[in-house]
Structure 1
Amino acid sequence: MNPEENRFKVNLGGMIEILSNHLYSQKDVYIRELLQNATDAIRGRKLISEDNFVGEIHVDLTIHRSGSSTLFFEDNGIGLTEEEIHQFLATIASSSKGEKNFEEKQDFIGRFGIGLLSCFIVADEIVMVTTSAKTRESFQWQGNADGTYEIKKLSQSLEEPGTKIYLTSRALKNQEEEHTNFILEDLAHALVKYGRCLEVPIFLTCDKGEKIVNQETMGLGKIDTLESLSRDQILKLGQKILQEDFQDYLLIETANG
């Protein structure tokens, strides 16, 4: 008798619970994943763009009268084609960073396609609008926490390539679920914590206007910038970022940046 081949069936709700309660101990980790995806998309676009291309990440938070809030996350990176949306967003643990077309230049942060799923820790729905730099076609992808998703092609493509993510916080069930609602102060802190050494400027819009949250430290993501700084300048930066007095530093460079 020939053995029967079977496939695992993944319960997305169970995966989200594992992400939220076990794998990710910090509830703001979805910010890190969004920053990784955006930075990788920008690095991907740099590989096919002219030298004058400048990458940017924009974050905006809107508080609604109902008490819920919507987080808007945008990058002007390479975007996704329809095929890539199906491939990378519908298959858990698939990743565009490991594909052959990026192997020649290994400068991508994220390695696992599970990153976007971490947004379900704080939202029941993820809406993504993306325009590919390869095809200039625009698509909207909507993913739901119950494991379903839908894709539709937009009749009018956006002018510039890139990706926009919309997260609406789920309704609070009790006061203990603080991580299910977005708070500006926590958001700003998470952006600085995870994005301060990225080479891409991160713009945060709030009631006081727009500011670059990593303006002083984003140069640390570039080896040329680090090598141009004196020993005293680097030690002072370390003291400012980590509130510690350091005696010396060691520069470590890897293939991933």
Structure 2
Amino acid sequence: MSSETLEFQAETRQLLQLMVHSIYSNKDIFLRELISNASDALDKLRLQSLIDKELVADTDDLHISLAVSAEDRTLTVRDNGIGMSRDEVVELIGTIAKSGTAELLRKMRESKDAAAKQELIGQFGVGFYSTFMVADKVTLVTRRAGETGGTRWESTGEGTYQIEAVDDAPQGTSVTLHLKPEDAEDQLHDYSAEWKIREIVKRYSDFIAWPIRLDGSEAPLNSMKALWARPRSEVSDEEYHEFYKHVSHDWTDPLETIHMKAEGTFEYEALLFIPSRAPFDLYMRDGKRGVQLYVKRVFIMDDCEALTPQYLRFVKGVVDAHDLSLNISREILQQDRQIQVVRRRLVKKVLSTLSELREKDAEKYRGFWDEFGRALKEGLLDDTDNRDTLLDLLLLPSTASSELTTLRDYVSRMKEDQKDIYYMTGESRAMVEHSPHMEAFLAKGYEVLILTDPVDEVWVERITEFDGKPLQSIAKGQVDLGASETAPEQREEFAPLLTWLGEKLQEDVKEVRLSSRLTTSAACIVGDAHDITPTLEKMYRAMGQEMPRTKRILELNPAHPLVTGLRSAHAAGPADEAGLVETAELLYGVALLAEGGELTDPSRFTRLVADRLARTL
């Protein structure tokens, strides 16, 4: 058969070079990855053979076999599972850009720390490519179950690979590693030694449900016990951690392990994990989510989205249901009443685990929040059943200190005369802290929550209170700050100016009024109590939604020299009407910029500023 030489996709070539020259300290994991791939292939064949009675496939002795040759320095991992077609080989091994390779490479280039680079390799779950850490050449031979012809793939990891059709390939896949020369100083990593292979399998793959045999022996190297079916007291933390790495393709230990069993009308076991850090695709639209679904130990599907909500997409693990059909589809799962019951129980268990973690280990919970807090807040938008629990789990920045606070702790610190929980949304902490809206609140010692995640803009619109205390934006509506409210006579004194400004700025604002929230700034822009925020308006437009422009309110500080000067000039008569209009425009523009807004005509604004500065010289 003629051989064809093809090039790896560009980013895959870079990743291969990364793996070839990797200094990752634990090279043993390459075998774990190959065995996990083989196990997945066997799972898929068993399921396919149960659903498709027409499939011509040998399922009598499904297993994984390992063969080593110290003389040839080769290690082969074989399975008789589902196998791959030629197109699948090219798609799955020739290119991995869709798996986030570009993002991995970007982060690798940005990272200056060698240890951090090693962690990144694991974070992106490079799987098959880890073989190039230990091999000079890798040969793969595969035949898809039900097909007659097979495919041979080979590469040295240097940018190209050879692929050809073969007639005599057995069902399944075999991967042969041509190991790098033996290192006399590193006998602990001799992967052509049987003792080393036995050690790796026992440590990393003991829970694999299929027998793993060495060099034709019938005695399996692994126990083949489904971890989730064993009593928790019989499973060690190390076994849990290795199983987590198997299902998640992460190389770090999980933060929390949840092992649960339900009996009664609908029986199931679940083994769930909360990771220590966020996967690279957590906020990607096409990122994978959901746990693995089994039915009576038979693998049904990866990424079963029906079992976990979108905001808990970081949860990994397995659910083994006893009473579902083997050929149940994703569409049917979404409507299945029993699955919905399981989903509700899993969500409550995950959230209660997080609540317990927050209570017993604040530092550990803070680490979780830094990684997944933004995703967890998404639950406030649509999980009304667990909204109170989610509100209790929030950790939010505030003006009280540099540490994050819970809403309950905020309430405990509220002043006696304080009725509302104050907050402000914005693009960054610095922008919010220096906003004119903050001035009176800081002067009076009121604590303000600083909300800078995009999702904050949305959930504060849906949730109006916590623990009976209203949530109040300091940049929207009227605020009651007691003695700082403007007196009736002051409002009457400024009424002509406010009316005039409202007319001159009517294209930009719907009202001009005196402010009780300013102490040092001349003006600020606020929204009506039920107005959409400018940031949320921008977000909707970015998503392609048509949004009418929302006019907002200009508030003036009646004690500021600029405002009092403008009032006096207006009261004296329109000797310089054009100059007063320019001052009004500048006042509005300054207020808009102070909150991070965008000017509709930046060139005119800068020209007005330059002209005014020139007159002062």
Equivalent of residue 77 in structure 1, options 66, 78, 81: 81
Q: How does 1:153-192 map to 2 (within 5 A)?
A: 153-158=165-170, 161-172=171-182, 175-176=185-186, 179=189, 181-192=191-202
Tell me which residue corresponds to 1:11. 14
Shift of 1:70: 1.2
Q: Distance in 2 between matches of 1:70 and 1:203?
A: 16
| Aligned-partner SS, 1:87 | helix
Tell me which residue corresponds to 1:235. 233
Tell me which residue corresponds to 2:142. 130
Tell me which residue corresponds to 2:502. none
2:66/2:75 contact within 8 Å kept: yes
Q: Distance in 1 between matches of 2:198 and 2:169?
A: 31
Shift of 1:31: 0.7
| Aligned-partner SS, 2:215 | strand
Structure 1 unaligned regions, length at least 5: 1-6, 96-110, 243-248
| Aligned-partner SS, 2:152 | strand
Q: Distance in 2 between matches of 1:61 and 1:9?
A: 28
More off after superposition, 128-137 vs 195-204: 128-137
Tell me which residue corresponds to 2:64. 57
Q: Distance in 2 between matches of 1:113 and 1:88?
A: 14
Tell me which residue corresponds to 2:219. 211
Between the aligned residues of both structures, percent identity stands at 26
- Residue identity matched to 1:235: S
Number of residues paired by the alignment?
210
Equivalent of residue 157 in structure 2, options 136, 139, 145: 145
Q: Distance in 1 between matches of 2:125 and 2:234?
A: 37
Change (3 A) 1:74 1:10: closer
Greater C-alpha Rg = 2
Shift of 1:139: 0.9
Change (3 A) 1:79 1:135: same
1:94/1:113 contact within 8 Å kept: no
Shift of 1:184: 1.9
Q: Distance in 2 between matches of 1:182 and 1:146?
A: 23
- Residue identity matched to 2:27: K
Tell me which residue corresponds to 1:34. 34
Show CA shifts across 1:39-90 (max 9, x none): 11111112211489353111111110xxx52111110111010000100011
Tell me which residue corresponds to 1:253. 271
RMSD, aligned α-carbons: 3.3
Q: Distance in 2 between matches of 1:180 and 1:71?
A: 11
- Residue identity matched to 2:156: N
- Residue identity matched to 1:204: L
Q: Distance in 2 between matches of 1:191 and 1:183?
A: 13
2:16/2:132 contact within 8 Å kept: no
- Residue identity matched to 2:70: I
2:11/2:97 contact within 8 Å kept: no
Tell me which residue corresponds to 1:246. none
Show CA shifts across 1:90-145 (max 9, x none): 113557xxxxxxxxxxxxxxx97831110111101111110101433211111212
Shift of 1:168: 1.8
| Aligned-partner SS, 1:253 | strand
Tell me which residue corresponds to 1:21. 23
Which protein has greater RCO, CA pairs closer than 8 Å, 6+ apart?
A: 1
Change (3 A) 1:94 1:61: farther
Q: Distance in 1 between matches of 2:90 and 2:131?
A: 18
1:27/1:121 contact within 8 Å kept: yes
Shift of 1:176: 4.3
Structure 2 unaligned regions, length at least 5: 1-9, 52-57, 100-122, 241-257, 261-269, 273-290, 293-317, 319-617
Change (3 A) 1:236 1:163: same
Q: Distance in 2 between matches of 1:9 and 1:205?
A: 32
More off after superposition, 81-90 vs 48-57: 48-57
